[in-house]
Structure 1
């Protein structure tokens, strides 16, 4: 796993520990889905961990050299 997935797992674990016991599986699923939607809608969900322009430049150099 990578840092993004680990961070998301920690966030879900932290939220579910606060509740403790869920009345049924649907309530746990609703909580997790709500948190995932929140993360996807914030800047945290949109953060880029690698600048793709550097990768494109490296590929262009490889094509020219190759």
Structure 2
């Protein structure tokens, strides 16, 4: 069940991230799979162990 929830959350996060990136940078060619995978892997890591370190505070709007 936990694995299914992680996969569903990863797909949802990837879709949302890709849509926001394409809206913010309409002239750029943004790959959905690459952007979604990056967002999922960053979200799955513990915040203190992320490399490169996060530059945005928790809960801040980008």
Give your verdict on TM over 0.5: no
Higher alpha-carbon Rg: 1
**Structure (1/2) with the larger helix percentage:** 1
TM-score, with length taken from structure 2: 0.43
TM-score, with length taken from structure 1: 0.41
